Chains A and B, each alone.
Chain A
Amino acid sequence: MLRILSRIHHHGVLTEDLQTEDEQQIEQLGQQIQAAIERKFSGSLAIRQVDAGSCNACELEIHAVNGPHYDIERFGVHFVASPRHADVLLVTGPVSRHMETALRRTWRAMANPRYVIASGDCACTGGEFGCSYASCGAVDNVIPVDVSIPGCPPTPKQLMLGILALMYKGERA
């Protein structure tokens, strides 16, 4: 136990380290997200992620958003296991035809109001894979999209910016 505590102590709290410009931006960004979530979602935004055909790079970066450097959960954003618990569907990949129905059903299982973020170049436009016998291309071709986050894959910071963009869009609506 002492060894574990010593490692934790050794690292300190990475998320509060505002030494670099980069970290400061993350903090400011997060606070803006938090304020918007506070107003619109009573302080808690639940995201359900669906990989509709990605190459799995997008998933790696979404994992990083939950890591200690970004720790998006401190701003009230958390990932949930069921679409029925989710406010936002975060979709990656071009929508493969084999995932088309699964994606649509996942979206239908969400309660209103529901939002969809298309995350990554493939989700935004079809990307490298486009439309084909096997792919429906962009998420927008299958379910309505509220916000698109470009990037191949989007970095954790771009992901956080995208979620903020959704908040602003939600405010205006």
Chain B
Amino acid sequence: MTSNHRIHDFVSALAAAGALEPETLDEVAVPEAYVTVKSLSVEHWAEAARLAKAHGLRWAGCWADEVSTGYRLYVLLAANGQYVLLVAAWKEDDMPVPSQSTSYPAASRMERHMHDLLGIPWQGTTDTRRWTRHRAWEADQYPLRSNFPLQTDKTGHTPVDNHYPFEPIQGDGIYEIPVGPVHAGIIEPGHFRFQAAGEPILRLEERLGYVHKGIEKLAVGRDADSLVRLAGRVSGDSTVAYAWAAAMAIEQASGMAVSPRIQLIRGLLAERERVANHLGDIGAICNDVGFAFAHMQCQALREGWLRRNAEWTGHRLLMDVIKPGGIHCELSEDMRARLLDDHEQLRKEIRPLFDILDDHPSLEDRLLTTGYLSAATANELGVTGYVGKASGQNTDVRHDSPYGPYQNLQFSTATLEAGDVAARLAIRQMEIFSSLKLMQDMLEKLAQLPEEQMLEQDFPTPHVTGSLAIVDGWRGEILVFLRFDQQGKVVRFFPRDPSWFTWPALERIVLGNIVPDFPVCNKSVNASYSGHDL
């Protein structure tokens, strides 16, 4: 059954079950070659998930939106690069929404997020505990509703999030290790509750939400430029990917075409971000098992890479380089030549380095079979990016649903079946080579296209209220959903980080591993706290 058929059969099955609404609820601009939009009646919300599961679709995220007549619920389902976006209408006096988490376990936290922020009640859910909400607002308050102010008049200290009901575990000799939110390294905050017997981990429960800073609410009322600026700070290590996705959603809603040259430069920026992050992670994974040599080598390479970023764009991490409708910096012929040299240089540097990583006995001893994620679990959770690819999930938006410059570039994506830390390390290495190849091709194409004047132009007001963009960040598939009012101001921004799926994967990955191996397992996944907590 090909992917197109899977989506098609699923939609037919929904129609046969009487789940589809004949009328289109709202217009949503989407990449039309890959995404179908259908209106679903809300009472069939869980049924749709059951059917999707039966058709082998990947669950790619859900979110909600307050509109004048109530609420809209969205869920995105995927099969090999084809997507279907289901939209349903819900009102406060309706029945609670039937949960999709019984079919797709990864839906649970996103549904809890929707409850905590917008007050969408769920029925038949596997977990009714709060998720994003700690104690900064009350249980009966919903910050994303329009009647909730961005600035609250709340004074005094925010109490600590105690009495969160962690799942208990009982048995002889079983003990708990609470870790965080402040960790022992230079890393984002979150809480991990380990339950262990002796050294092996029996269970890990994550408690996130510590870096929730109201990004979805802050977006409300922004114009295109400032929205893209905010999007570039959803997760700092993915600033290019988010800014690009947000810009793409805005351009799509405005019917604005971006020139091939700008697309290529955006692609170049995104690949540079991927390489920089992979270099950092490869070193850090090795460092977590005491192999400092690789860490220093990778940090040195990364530093050279970031300095070139600064020289070219003025920013080491490429923040605020992408803007709606374009980019802030051109690529001169001189810089193009320097980038080509850099790529050659990096290839020369990483080949002997990766050779060492590939057959170094002490690394093998620590990384092989450590932190195993089975293909079945990765599939069940809908994990994308390097975590998915290391466990046999061949999902890459650049390849499967190509956008911008990737439509005209040839490249293959690698997957491995081993699913351990070593495989996640190897996938990162392969992705660096594949990015170098892509950047080579992009630079060759750029040589054919004349430099463009970056004109400051008024941005056209979006003529479609909703817009969904899908890109491949270095961590995996990123979604950005936007809705605009009639003046073109943002009323809803939902960026969905791939970490929503890799965080639950980490809970499975550590099982049976010893507690001291948690850092390397965690680093091999490197999920974003900020991108998840919003």
Footprint of B on A, CB under 8 Å?
Answer: 3-4, 6-8, 11, 14, 49-64, 66-69, 79, 81-83, 93-94, 96-104, 106, 128-136, 152-153, 155
Contacts and interface: CB of A to CB of B under 8 A. Distances in A.
B184 A128 contact: no
B149 interface: yes
B154 interface: yes
A8 B300 CA distance: 11
Interface string B490-534: 000000000000000000000000000000000000001110010
Nearest to B229: A128
B25 interface: no
Interface in B299-350: 299-300, 302-303, 306, 310, 316-317, 319
- Prevailing SS type, chain A contact patch: mixed
Contacts of A93: 211, 213
B352 A3 contact: yes
B317 A60 contact: yes
Nearest to A152: B319
B134 interface: yes
B72 interface: no
Chain B CB within 10 Å, residue with most, of A57, A102, A129, A155: A57
A169 to B, nearest CB: 23
Given A11-B297, A51-B211, A153-B317, A133 B148 contact: yes
A63 B297 CA distance: 14
B214 A134 contact: yes
A57 B209 CA distance: 18
Given A58-B236, A128-B233, A133-B136, 10 more contacts: A8-B293, A51-B188, A60-B236, A67-B302, A94-B213, A98-B209, A101-B159, A129-B213, A129-B218, A133-B154
A57 B151 contact: no
Contacts of A59: 186-188, 236
B136 A54 contact: no
Contact of B157 (A7, A55, A104): A104
A21 to B, nearest CB: 13
Contacts of A11: 297, 300
A101 B296 CA distance: 35
B236 A67 contact: no
Interface of B: 134-137, 143, 148-152, 154, 157-161, 181-182, 184-189, 209-215, 217-218, 229-230, 233-237, 239, 280, 293, 296-297, 299-300, 302-303, 306, 310, 316-317, 319, 352-353, 355-356, 528-530, 533
B213 A60 contact: no
Contacts of B148: 133
B319 A102 contact: no
20 contacts: A3-B356, A8-B293, A51-B186, A51-B211, A53-B213, A54-B188, A56-B188, A57-B233, A67-B302, A94-B213, A98-B135, A98-B211, A99-B211, A128-B230, A130-B218, A132-B214, A133-B136, A135-B213, A136-B158, A153-B236
A128 B229 CA distance: 8
Contacts of B237: 56-57, 60
A-B interface, 9 closest residue pairs, ranked by CB to CB distance from nearest: A57-B236, A134-B214, A67-B299, A97-B136, A81-B184, A55-B236, A101-B160, A97-B158, A55-B233
